Amino acid sequence: MDRVKVYGADWCEDTQETRAHLDGKGIGYDYINVDHDAQAEEFIKRQNGGKRQTPTVDLGGQILVEPDNEQLDDALRRRGGSNH
């Protein structure tokens, strides 16, 4: 199973909320700061119709854009739970 990837920015409150939620559930993920990674920024723009929306979460190919905690939990359940 592919590791969860969170594309975001340190200054983005939604990014920090998503990261805190995953941390609280003990779910491992890779955090990619789009302010420091031009390829990651281009990736999220491609996923979001040219817009730079954070966080963009990649769950092994399933892309969630600015998910709330409930949407994130639902998607994690569908993919088989946590990814330690």
- Return all residues near 4 (Cβ < 8 A) that are at least 6 apart: 22, 27, 28, 29, 30, 57, 58, 59, 60, 76, 83
Domain boundaries, the chain: 4-66
pLDDT digits (tens, 9 = 90+) for 21-61: 999 999 999 999 999 999 999 999 999 999 999 999 999 98
| Residue 60, CA distances (Å) to 9, 13, 75 in order | 20, 24, 11
Does the domain at residues 4-66 carry the CATH identifier 3.40.30.10? yes
pTM of the predicted model, to two decimals?
Answer: 0.90
Distance between CA atoms of residues 83 and 3, nearest Å: 7
Asked which of 36-50, 55-69, 70-84 is least confident by mean pLDDT, the reply is 70-84
Closest alpha carbon to 4 in 20, 25, 28: 28
Q: Specify the pLDDT at position 70.
A: 96
Q: Are 28 and 37 in contact (CB under 8 A)?
A: no
